[in-house]
Amino acid sequence: MTDDAIRRRRLLAVSLGAAAVLPLAACATAEQEQPDTEFRSPTVTDAPAARNVRDFGAVGDGLADDTAAIAAAAAASEGPPVLYLPAGHYRVTSFPELPDFATVLGDGPDISTLVCETDTTLISLRNRSRVRFSRLGIYMSGPRSTAVVLTECFRCSFDAVVIRGNHLSSNHPQFLAQRGVVLEGNTGGTAFINCDINNFGVGITTSCIQNYVTSSKLTSNFIGVLGTGNDHNAGLALTNVEFVSDHDPKTTDKHLAIDGAANDWWLTNVWFEGADIAVSVGDRERGGPAQFGMVNCKVAARSVAIDLVYCRQPYLANVVFDPDLERPPIELRIDPAGCPEGTAVNLISSAGEDFAPGQFPDRWHVLGRGSMRAPRFEGTIVGRAGRGDADIMQAQGPDGDVRSAVLSSGAWLSDRPEGGVVLKDNDGGYWRLTVSTDGAVRTSPLGRQRPKG
């Protein structure tokens, strides 16, 4: 990895860490940083149902307690509220309960922020549908606090939302109990789009299927995503997502961990770097997911890139492995007892040679650049002739020359004079059948040792 890349990651961690460890109420104390209270978002200007929390007494200076004012704005709506938080830092100790179809809008995740310093769950939704949060920041500083919990909720959405805690290597392990998002109670269809979830003990905890994370980034969480519950339910789909951290082992242990029996996990275009173990799938005692797939992903780690411990159907395609430090990690570790079957297609190592088929358990299907290995077949194997006179099957030597073939007619053909059929007699001796230039079939003794060539 280049020095520039390492410096970039360190700068990222330092900048996020500085934001996290400062007193959150100090985010906007300088007079010149106060937001313009007359600003109106074009998104809500023409929405008559929108409730500007400033109209209900919210100050948004990061010092005043705006909890009651925001609750009053939510209660003032006759139907599903549209709460508008203009640019400002709103210090709160709780957030009002929201009905179905409610919307909470800000002017941007870095300028419309909820700041909570207590050990609490700030936003809790239960049995709700289609609640939306957009262009908003949520900053938590309580060591055991949780930003968002969704229980039995459906089709909720978080769009351009930054959720940030206080976990850093420098304060480890003080904030390991902080949680960013918790999805529980069969919550489903919820999407996180263009979101950032940073500096938590666990960024996302899910025991539900199926929810979605898209075009988002998880940074400097001790565990980025935890699939848990051990009830064959947890699952998640991640597309165009980045997991990043620095090189300090106290910052990030695992980016993605599934700790027991779970459902389907699918990762597409996902980037991992800066963890001890980037991806850990399943547990030897509690089991793992029914399916786990990674397609078009890049994985770097300090010790293990992908650790497949237990999974009924793992699928890896077009995955590139990189070292995170000077010493290459174990790129792919597969427990043959927990993952006896699986598929690997076009895995690429930038730290060494391409993956040899022998690195996989016997029953895996492995397709690499110029090589293929399939497990043993049981039952009838069928080879069907194609168009024309193409062979149904060929046996080739290392140089690519055809040694023998099954022709399109079904006939077996040996293309080498020393080839042919080898038979074993009743006394244990081997004989080769050959054809002379006059067409006579003869036998040649080969001894009692099984021929090797």
Phi, psi for 91 (deg, rounded to 5): -80, 125
Q: What is the mean pLDDT of the chain?
A: 87
Helix and strand numbers, DSSP H then E, in the chain: 3, 34
204 vs 182: CA distance, rounded Å:
6
For the chain, give the percent of residues with pLDDT over 90: 63
Residue of 298 and 397 predicted with greater confidence: 298
> Which residue has 């055991």 as its token pair?
144
- Parallel, antiparallel, or unpaired for β 430-435 and 421-424? antiparallel
pLDDT at residue 114 greater than cutoff 90: yes
Q: What pLDDT does residue 22 have?
A: 43
189 vs 212: CA distance, rounded Å:
7
Q: What pLDDT does residue 25 have?
A: 35
Model pLDDT for residues 259-275, shown as the tens digit of each residue: 999 999 999 999 999 99
What is the mean pLDDT of the segment spanning 119-138? 98
Domains of the chain: 3-373 (2.160.20.10), 393-447 (no CATH)
337 vs 339: CA distance, rounded Å:
6
Model pLDDT for residues 405-453, shown as the tens digit of each residue: 888 888 888 887 777 788 898 888 888 888 888 878 888 888 888 887 6
Asked if residues 355 and 368 have their Cβ atoms less than 8 Å apart, the reply is yes
Asked if residues 250 and 223 have their Cβ atoms less than 8 Å apart, the reply is no
Q: What pLDDT does residue 422 have?
A: 86
Phi, psi for 315 (deg, rounded to 5): -140, 120
**Which residue from 172, 185, 189, 262 is spatially nearest to 225, judged by alpha carbons?**
262
Q: What pLDDT does residue 441 have?
A: 86
Distance of CA 383 to the CA centre of its chain: 38
3-state secondary structure of 249: coil
Measure the N-to-C terminal CA separation of the chain; round to a whole number of Å: 46
Name the pTM for this structure.
Answer: 0.81
**Which residue from 137, 153, 133 is spatially nearest to 193, judged by alpha carbons?**
133
Name the E strands within 207-251. Answer: 212-219, 223-227, 236-244
3-state secondary structure of 305: strand
Asked if residues 123 and 180 have their Cβ atoms less than 8 Å apart, the reply is no
Q: What is the CA radius of gyration of the chain?
A: 30
